[in-house]
Structure 1
Amino acid sequence: MPSGAASPVPPMPEAPGFEHHVVETPGLRTHLATVGEGDPVLLLHGFPQHWWQWRVVASRLADEGYRALCPDLRGSGWTEATSPEITRTSRLDDVLALLDALALDRVHLVSHDLGSVTAIQLSYGHPERLRRAVQLSVPPAFMTLSPRTLPGFRHLPAFFWHRSGTSLRFTFSERYVAQPMSEADIAAHLAPMQRPEIDAAVRTVSRAMVLGEAPRLAGGTYRRQRLRVPTLFVFGREDRYWNEKIMGIVCREPEKYADGAEFAYVDGASHFITDDAPEAVADLVVDWLGRAA
């Protein structure tokens, strides 16, 4: 945290080279972890994770001459909100306010899991703020829904009906990871759940974000628009629900819906791809961003 700031509670996991800041925008005090100097890359974490998810990928970006910006999104990590209320676009509004506060007109964008919902909103609604994007473990918004995709949403009821104090450790089970996650890493990901307001946000965030977007996805809202931001969609080959076979079914002819959309698949990785194969993910991100004009 900035010099003179109180130590965060609970303590943050360690990640060498990162600096920690608090960025104040209306109704929000965003914890922002940064590393490196150069072209800015905004990294939006998944659920139930936070900035620490990007410890390997962001460090690699810094080594390659980028400035990695890893905020804790509303309802996660060490970010503090004045109100527990959240809507479908609350996180989008937060990200736009954060970019304005940092005086950043355009950034590269990397997202995972629930962070990709905000990334989708940003890519379609504000493409002028983005250069290139990488979306991890989440299919394109222009996909065609089918019965084959239903298993990919089977985890959601546990979040919609989350009871305060219930552990989210099950999230990191073998169903969603290819490489067993250490107890220390699980504890690091779940550390902010010790904060009552973060525990309580599990229901509000998941309901607002997922249920808020569901009618738009089901109704083909994004299929009637065009994705103008060049985007790389990355999946783990061992992902049970979103993998190369499924993408071949639900994302035929992506050129009809997007400019410069490409797909990549990572060996030895499942849904929590930045834990299973962080170096492989970093390689793909660096290569994709390096293609920017």
Structure 2
Amino acid sequence: MKRIIISLICFLFFQFSYGQTVKPVSSPTNKSADPVPTSHFTNVNGIKLHYVTCGNGPAVILLHGWPFTWMEWKPVMIQLAKAGYTAIAPDLRGMGDSEISDSGYSKINIAEDIHQLVQQLNLKDIHLVGIDIGMMVAYAYTVKHQDEVKQLVLGESLIPGFGLEELTNPATGGYWHFGFHAQADLAAMLTAGKEAAYLNPMYDLMSPDKHIDPAVRAEYIRQYSKPGAMKGGFQHYATLIQDGKDNRSNFKTQLTIPVLVLNGEKGIPSKQTFDCVAKVASNVEYGIVPNSGHALGEDNPVWYTNRLVQFFNK
């Protein structure tokens, strides 16, 4: 009985503290097939960028993390399209089918990649969503172009310069891989030919209940096994110290647009993410994605999308 009471108290705490009551998204009543994402290429900021679109309506830009590609958003894109949105998911520079450049991996510069895509597509009042590395890029984008972002959704990371450094320090319980990946050339050399052996434990850790479709996991490994692809991913870590300096230098005042922060129930420590975002934004909602690890869009895409749409409709 004591255990039941404690569980009920915890449930009610998250319901009222983090707004966990989520209404299902409305969708057409017919049984037509799911919307099909469409692949595109364009030139932005000196590179060839791959991006995928799905649906028709207000634009939602979805920025993925490592070791993923746009495909981590596919289940969410389909749900967003059904709810009346245009979902747009780029492969970040150096990952997926986007060009692997030799340089240009600062989060400010990657945000410029995305900004030029937004300009090319003539988008206004975007909903910007980022997790992991994508969260860092989404923040950098919004700092520079807050007038273009209607709402911002972040999760499963911390912002360089505002708490990420603690998360990357193994001596204080942080994650070891940040330092390893930051040595991009060395890390790429040591993982060459061993991509699956290196990445599969990462996917197991990031989706502890193994919600990532095996075919999708195989596609991730295929993408990261291409020549230069592991280094392309690692380059995002090599710039983190500079990213922190850039963010602190560019910080003038807190973001005032609506911000939603969602972490997985089994993802990275949520309090650290929540405290981090509270330093840089003043109008923030927080939530926990149930039955989810780090891979929010694949572990619980329906709940996650429902929460996005609820936020977007405010």
Q: TM-score band, normalised by the shorter chain? A: 0.7 to 0.9
Q: Give the structure 1 partner of residue 177 of structure 2.
A: 155
**Which of 263, 286, 295 does residue 272 from structure 1 map onto?**
295
Q: State TM-score, norm by structure 1.
A: 0.81
Query: Are residue 198 (structure 1) and residue 229 (structure 2) matched?
Result: yes
The answer to whether structure 1 residue 262 and structure 2 residue 285 are counterparts is yes
Percent identical pairs in the alignment equals: 23
Counterpart residue number, 2:98 = 79
Give deviations 1:67-109, integer Å, cap 9, x for gaps: 011111100110125x421241221111111111112233111
Equivalent-residue separation in structure 2 for 1:109 and 1:178 (angstroms): 27
Give the letter aligned to residue 256 of structure 2: R
Deviating beyond 4 angstroms after TM superposition, the runs of 4 or more aligned structure 1 residues are 140-150, 220-224
How many residue pairs align between the two structures? 267
Contact 1:142 1:223 (8 Å CA) reproduced: no
Matched, 1:17 2:48: no
Which residue pairs with 1:101 in the alignment? 120
- Whether 1:177 and 2:196 are equivalent positions in the alignment is no
Secondary structure, in 3 states, of the residue corresponding to 1:65? coil
Contact 1:142 1:257 in 2 (8 A): no
* TM alignment of 1:95-174, pairs within 5 A: 95-139=114-158, 150=169, 151-161=173-183, 162-164=187-189, 165=192, 166-167=194-195, 168-174=199-205
Report the AA paired with residue 155 of structure 1: H
Question: Which whole-Å deviations, capped at 9, do the CAs of 1:112-154 have from their partners, x for residues lacking one?
Answer: 1001111010111210111111112124678557968843443
Q: What SS does the aligned partner of 1:286 have?
A: helix
Output the amino acid matched with 2:208.
A
Q: Retained in 1: the 8 A contact 2:166–2:174?
A: no
1:211 to 231, 241, 259: 241
**2-structure distance, mates of 1:47, 1:70:** 14
Match for residue 21 of structure 2? none
Give the C-alpha shift of residue 23 in structure 1: 1.4
Match of 1:34 in 2: 53
* Paired amino acid for 2:264: G
Q: For residues 99 and 147 of structure 1, do their structure 2 counterparts lie closer, same or farther at Cα, with a shift above 3 Å needed?
A: closer
3-state SS in 2 of match to 1:238: coil
CA-CA distance at 1:269 after TM superposition: 1.4
CA distance in 1, matches of 2:235, 2:166: 27
- Show CA shifts across 1:170-192 (max 9, x none): 32133x32312454332122321
Q: Alpha-carbon deviation of 1:33? A: 0.6
Separation of aligned partners in 1, 2:231 and 2:165: 32
SS of the aligned residue for 1:169 comes to: helix
1:173 is paired with a residue whose SS is helix
Structure-2 separation of matches of 1:29 and 1:225: 34
> Which of the numbers 111, 119, 124 marks the counterpart of 1:92?
111
Which of 209, 227, 243 in structure 1 is aligned with 2:255? Answer: 227
- TM-score calculated relative to the size of structure 2: 0.76
Write the distance in 1 (CA, Å) between the matches of 2:56 and 2:121: 14
Tell me the residue number matched to 1:4.
none
Q: Does 1:243 align with 2:270?
A: yes
1:65 and 2:120 equivalent? Answer: no
In our comparison, the structure showing a higher alpha carbon Rg is 2
Q: 1:153 to 1:223 in 2, by over 3 A?
A: farther
> Does the 8 Å CA contact 2:158/2:164 hold for their aligned counterparts?
no
Conservation of the 8 A alpha-carbon contact between 1:32 and 1:69: yes
Query: For 1:191 and 1:149, how far apart are their aligned partners in 2?
Result: 27
Q: What are structure 1's unaligned runs of at least 5 residues?
A: 1-14
Question: Paired residue for 2:18?
Answer: none
Instruction: Indicate the RMSD between aligned Cα atoms, in angstroms.
Output: 2.6
Tell me the SS of whatever aligns to 1:80: coil
Deviation at 1:158, TM superposition (A): 3.1
Code of the aligned partner of 2:262: V
| SS of structure 1 residue aligned to 2:228 | helix
Quote the Cα distance in structure 1 between the aligned partners of 2:226 and 2:167: 37
1:37 is paired with a residue of what secondary structure? coil
Q: Partners of 1:148 and 1:203 in 2: how far apart? A: 17
